[in-house]
């Protein structure tokens, strides 16, 4: 049972009306969750992500809604408005794209509109994944070695950075992102739940030295370049088909006979 530690009022804050797809993201989806109550190095929240269809006046009027972010510890949730979610998919945003490739057990809620997204996930596949995944990996590399603590860090995470001399959580993200990007370029499949989770957890627990992490990252960046040169993925997603799907999903949801309205 999901959200069993929350009241119905708290669940309603996390799950907006008309949420059509909701699932775990982050460490739970990757098989890398370290429970802070059971593991001395555990600093993970329970992260969820989804998409919802906004009220009709957002699409036809002046109201705006892009996303709802909610933190009710240990839950950390973000639910995007449907069109914004699709735009992030078209950009091959690693976190958002992963939502279409979860294991079934990691989906919390799926409505017909969400199922249509899942069924059309290959429309979003393109070479853009190289730039997005390696770009996010570079960000993790920079964060990993910064000595200045960031505002989102709690006392326990700061202590771990001081203990190991680098941010082990960022290091695990760095290696995971590169491996996922390489796999997708090579196989056109996104493996969100990681077979290499035991090794990634070693990194996350500080069992690798900083030099080992940097050496592996350097090797993987080179492999990503090679995979990009060899991939058979298209240069860009099929934007026209994605746009048509969006129109159909929103029209069906609001009961609009859109093809007739176009004449």
What is the Cα 7 distance to its own chain's centre? 26
Q: Is residue 2 part of a domain?
A: no
Does residue 139 share a domain with residue 111? no
Give the closest residue to 224 by CA, choosing from 168, 184, 195, 172: 184
Q: Is residue 171 part of a domain?
A: yes
Q: Is residue 102 part of a domain?
A: yes
Please give the pLDDT value at position 35. 76
pTM, whole model, 2 decimals? 0.89
- Mean pLDDT for 61-78 is 91
CA atoms in the 13 A half-sphere facing the CB of 144: 23
Q: Is residue 59 part of a domain?
A: yes
Please give the pLDDT value at position 145. 77
Average pLDDT taken over every residue of the chain: 90
CA atoms in the 13 A half-sphere facing the CB of 198: 1
Does residue 177 share a domain with residue 141? yes
Does residue 243 share a domain with residue 116? yes
Does residue 244 share a domain with residue 185? no
As a 3-state breakdown, the chain gives helix, strand, coil percent values, each rounded to 5, of 55, 10, 35
- Mean pLDDT for 66-92 is 95
Does residue 251 share a domain with residue 219? no
Does residue 44 share a domain with residue 95? yes
Please give the pLDDT value at position 131. 96
Give the closest residue to 191 by CA, choosing from 201, 207, 178, 202: 178
Structure tokens at 4: 């069993």
Q: Indicate whether 149 pLDDT > 90.
A: no
Specify the range with the lowest mean pLDDT, choosing from 31-35, 65-69, 216-220, 248-252: 31-35
Please give the pLDDT value at position 259. 52
Name the more confident of 200 and 1.
Answer: 200
Does residue 140 share a domain with residue 61? no
Does residue 118 share a domain with residue 241? yes
**Rg of the chain taking only CA atoms, in angstroms:** 20
Does residue 177 share a domain with residue 156? yes
Q: Specify the CATH number for the domain of residue 17.
A: 3.30.460
| Residues 35, 197: Cα–Cα separation, whole Å | 15
Percent pLDDT > 90 in the chain is 74
How many distinct structural domains can be found in the chain? 2
pLDDT tens column, 103-113: 999 999 999 99
| Residues 256, 252: Cα–Cα separation, whole Å | 6
Q: Is residue 3 part of a domain?
A: no
Question: Which pLDDT band, with edges at 50, 70 and 90, does 153 fall under?
Answer: low
Question: Which pLDDT band, with edges at 50, 70 and 90, does 236 fall under?
Answer: very high
Q: Is residue 104 part of a domain?
A: yes
Does residue 110 share a domain with residue 23? yes
Does residue 140 share a domain with residue 66? no
Structure tokens at 212: 């080992």
CA distances (Å), origin 251, targets 111, 113, 114, 151, 200 = 15, 11, 14, 42, 43
Structure tokens at 110: 């799926």
Q: Is residue 1 part of a domain?
A: no
Structure tokens at 169: 């959580």
Measured in degrees and rounded to the nearest 5, phi and psi for residue 73 equal: -50, 135
Instruction: Identify the DSSP state of 150.
Output: P
Question: Which pLDDT band, with edges at 50, 70 and 90, does 263 fall under?
Answer: very low
Please give the pLDDT value at position 163. 87
pLDDT tens column, 193-220: 999 999 999 999 999 999 999 999 999 9
Residue 215 domain boundaries: 128-230
Q: Are 239 and 90 in contact (CB under 8 A)?
A: yes
């Amino acid at each position: 049972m999901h959200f069993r530690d929350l009241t119905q009022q708290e669940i309603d804050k996390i799950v907006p009306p008309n949420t059509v797809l909701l699932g775990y993201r982050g460490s739970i989806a990757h098989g890398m969750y370290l429970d802070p109550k059971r593991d001395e190095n555990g600093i993970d929240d329970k992260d969820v992500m989804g998409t919802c269809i906004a009220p009709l006046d957002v699409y036809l009027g002046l109201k705006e809604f892009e996303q709802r972010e909610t933190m009710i510890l240990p839950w950390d949730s973000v639910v995007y408005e449907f069109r914004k979610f699709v735009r992030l998919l078209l950009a091959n945003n690693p976190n958002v794209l992963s939502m279409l490739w979860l294991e079934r057990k990691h989906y919390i809620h799926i409505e017909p509109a969400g199922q249509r997204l899942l069924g059309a996930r290959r429309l979003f596949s393109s070479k853009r994944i190289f730039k997005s995944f390696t770009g996010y990996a570079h960000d993790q590399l920079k964060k990993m070695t910064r000595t200045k603590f960031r505002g989102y860090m709690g006392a326990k995470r700061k202590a771990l950075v001081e203990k190991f001399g680098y941010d082990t959580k960022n290091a695990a993200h760095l290696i995971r992102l590169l491996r996922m990007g390489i796999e997708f370029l090579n196989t056109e499949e996104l493996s969100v739940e990681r077979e290499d989770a035991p090794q990634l957890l070693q990194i996350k627990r500080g069992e690798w030295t900083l030099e080992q992490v940097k050496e592996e990252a350097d090797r993987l960046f080179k492999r990503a370049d090679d995979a990009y040169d060899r991939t058979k993925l298209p240069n860009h997603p099929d934007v026209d088909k994605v746009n048509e799907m969006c129109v159909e999903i929103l029209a069906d949801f609001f009961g609009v006979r859109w093809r007739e309205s176009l004449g």
